[in-house]
């Protein structure tokens, strides 16, 4: 019995296409040549592999068994060829890569640029799909590997899995969206007034959104736009009041919309994730580096940095109570109060520092007040304390 890899490949494609004409077209053969190849394979094995039905070609029970083994053999053959190329040291060959929608938006473009530069002889085929569809293609040996979020559908035990840094999902809106003026305790109730834009989400993400929107079933989620183009969904959110469910890595990766990075940095600062916010601010182009929002953001980052190793607010308040001239304690207490939302109390601490010793640490009281004015968004409050600062200075 003589078998050829070519005949096994012909059989695998025929089983997938379910029609001799479509399979022959895909294999760049005439239909008669494909028929002869399948007949030769059946003769070699002594088995009938396919039946012709009204819906097309269907593998027999024996054919299904042979197909499963053939797919493994074809996969091993591809792996052997690839390893041989690596052993020869040739930077050539073909890689089939599957990428989930969110990971693709976050890193695919820079990855392909790097491959083009470092491996110019390599051919890369990329499929951007949902994890369910990627898993199906992995099982069929149509992909060499895939990058995806797999919580809702873990891969089989015989798959080699390598964890990658996590992606951070969340809800995003355009700058100036009505939700940005809603206080945190009322945010969940207000969220229900706005519809969603999202990709084809896995069950775990839909569970999260159902809890957030307080609905019992996934089909009750107010999804207005659903597609696998994160870029298109971003544009919808930027041009309307629709709320985007996405990952912040995908938002930050948008190369042509630097303002998105600034908006994301501002959101991260509000949630206390200052290290990542600082990296985004450092990467802003020159025209945004001097933007008022950037200046305010850097002032808030400076306060976060100063508070990193500071004692708790209660301990600092006790120090100020024991010694009103402990300006370091007043400064750190003011920062704690400012970051905690007690803005007027913070301004009082900085103003008292200015009254006690305006030259403390090279003019720190005045600098703290000016930076606080940048951070505080209540114009009336800022105006009052600006006048009080001026009366002390002049």
**What integer pLDDT is reported at residue 143 of this predicted model?**
84
Taking the C-alpha atoms of residue 380 and residue 385, their distance in angstroms, rounded to an integer, is 9
Nearest CA to 151 out of 105, 203, 226 is that of 203
To the nearest 10 degrees (0 to 180), the angle between helices 292-307 and 258-270 is 30
Query: Which CATH number characterizes residue 115's domain?
Result: 3.40.190.10
* Judgement on whether residues 295 and 317 belong to the same structural domain of the protein: no
Q: Which helix (H) or strand (E) holds 382?
A: helix 379-393
pLDDT in tens, the chain (394 residues): 567 888 888 888 888 888 888 888 888 888 888 888 888 888 888 889 888 877 788 888 998 998 888 888 888 787 777 666 655 655 667 788 888 888 887 778 888 888 888 877 778 888 888 877 888 888 777 888 888 877 766 767 767 778 887 778 888 888 788 888 787 778 888 888 999 998 888 788 888 888 888 888 888 889 888 887 888 888 888 888 999 998 877 776 665 566 666 777 777 777 677 887 888 788 777 777 777 888 888 888 889 888 888 999 999 999 999 999 999 999 999 999 998 889 999 999 999 999 999 999 999 999 999 999 988 988 899 999 999 999 888 7
Q: Which domain holds residue 26?
A: 5-82
* Judgement on whether residues 68 and 104 belong to the same structural domain of the protein: no
Taking the C-alpha atoms of residue 339 and residue 268, their distance in angstroms, rounded to an integer, is 14
Taking the C-alpha atoms of residue 366 and residue 61, their distance in angstroms, rounded to an integer, is 84
Q: Which residue has the tokens 């760049």?
A: 28
Virtual torsion, Cα 203, 205, 208, 212, nearest 10 deg: -120
**What integer pLDDT is reported at residue 265 of this predicted model?**
77
* Judgement on whether residues 285 and 366 belong to the same structural domain of the protein: no
**What integer pLDDT is reported at residue 213 of this predicted model?**
87
* Judgement on whether residues 72 and 116 belong to the same structural domain of the protein: no
**What integer pLDDT is reported at residue 80 of this predicted model?**
73
Domain-located, residue 46: yes
Q: CB–CB of 302/294 below 8 Å? A: no
**What integer pLDDT is reported at residue 106 of this predicted model?**
74
CA 6 to chain centre: 41
Taking the C-alpha atoms of residue 61 and residue 234, their distance in angstroms, rounded to an integer, is 48
Report the chain's C-alpha Rg in angstroms.
31
* Judgement on whether residues 197 and 289 belong to the same structural domain of the protein: yes
Nearest CA to 251 out of 191, 142, 168 is that of 168
* Judgement on whether residues 245 and 180 belong to the same structural domain of the protein: yes
Q: Quote the number of domains for the chain.
A: 4
Assigned token pair, 168: 């951070």
Query: Which CATH number characterizes residue 24's domain?
Result: 1.10.10.10
Taking the C-alpha atoms of residue 139 and residue 293, their distance in angstroms, rounded to an integer, is 49
Q: How many Cα atoms sit within 13 Å of 290 on the Cβ side?
A: 2
Domain boundary among 283, 305, 327: 305
Nearest CA to 332 out of 352, 309, 351 is that of 309
Nearest CA to 221 out of 244, 247, 192 is that of 192
**What integer pLDDT is reported at residue 359 of this predicted model?**
92
Domain-located, residue 214: yes
**What integer pLDDT is reported at residue 153 of this predicted model?**
66
Domain-located, residue 316: yes
* Judgement on whether residues 179 and 293 belong to the same structural domain of the protein: yes
**What integer pLDDT is reported at residue 258 of this predicted model?**
64
Assigned token pair, 71: 């797919």
Length, in residues, of the chain: 394
* Judgement on whether residues 366 and 322 belong to the same structural domain of the protein: yes
């Amino acid at each position: 019995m003589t078998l050829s890899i070519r005949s096994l490949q012909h059989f695998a494609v025929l089983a997938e296409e379910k029609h001799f004409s479509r399979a022959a077209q895909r294999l760049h053969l005439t239909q008669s040549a494909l028929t002869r190849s399948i007949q030769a394979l059946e003769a070699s094995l002594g088995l009938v592999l396919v039946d012709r039905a009204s819906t097309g070609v269907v593998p027999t029970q024996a054919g299904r068994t042979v197909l499963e083994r053939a797919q493994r053999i074809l996969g091993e053959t591809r792996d052997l060829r690839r390893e041989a190329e690596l052993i020869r040291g040739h930077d050539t060959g073909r890689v089939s890569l599957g990428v989930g929608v969110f990971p693709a938006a976050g890193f695919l473009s820079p990855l392909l640029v790097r491959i083009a530069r470092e491996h110019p002889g390599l051919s890369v085929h990329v499929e951007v799909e949902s994890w369910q569809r990627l898993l199906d293609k992995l099982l069929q040996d149509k992909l060499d590997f895939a990058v995806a979020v797999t919580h809702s559908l873990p891969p089989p035990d015989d798959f080699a899995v390598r964890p990658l840094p996590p992606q951070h999902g969340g809800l995003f809106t355009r700058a100036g969206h009505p939700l940005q003026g809603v206080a945190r305790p009322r945010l969940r109730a207000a969220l229900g007034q706005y519809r969603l834009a999202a990709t084809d989400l896995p069950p775990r993400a839909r569970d999260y959104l159902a809890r957030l929107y307080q609905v019992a079933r996934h089909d009750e989620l107010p999804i207005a736009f659903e597609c696998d183009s994160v870029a298109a969904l971003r544009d919808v959110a930027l041009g309307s009041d629709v709320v985007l469910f996405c990952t912040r890595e995908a938002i930050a990766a948008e190369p042509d919309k630097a303002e998105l990075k600034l908006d994301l940095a501002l959101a991260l600062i509000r949630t206390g994730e200052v290290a990542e916010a600082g990296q985004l601010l450092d990467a802003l182009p020159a025209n945004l580096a001097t933007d008022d929002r950037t200046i305010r953001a850097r002032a808030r980052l400076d306060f976060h940095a100063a508070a990193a190793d500071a004692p708790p607010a209660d301990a600092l308040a006790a120090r100020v109570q024991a010694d009103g001239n402990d300006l370091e304690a007043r400064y750190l207490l003011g920062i704690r109060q400012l970051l905690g939302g007690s803005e007027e109390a913070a301004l009082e601490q900085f103003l008292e520092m200015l009254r006690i010793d305006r030259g403390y640490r090279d003019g720190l009281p005045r600098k703290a007040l000016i930076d606080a004015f940048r951070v505080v968004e209540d114009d009336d409050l800022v105006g009052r304390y600006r006048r009080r600062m001026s009366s002390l200075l002049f």
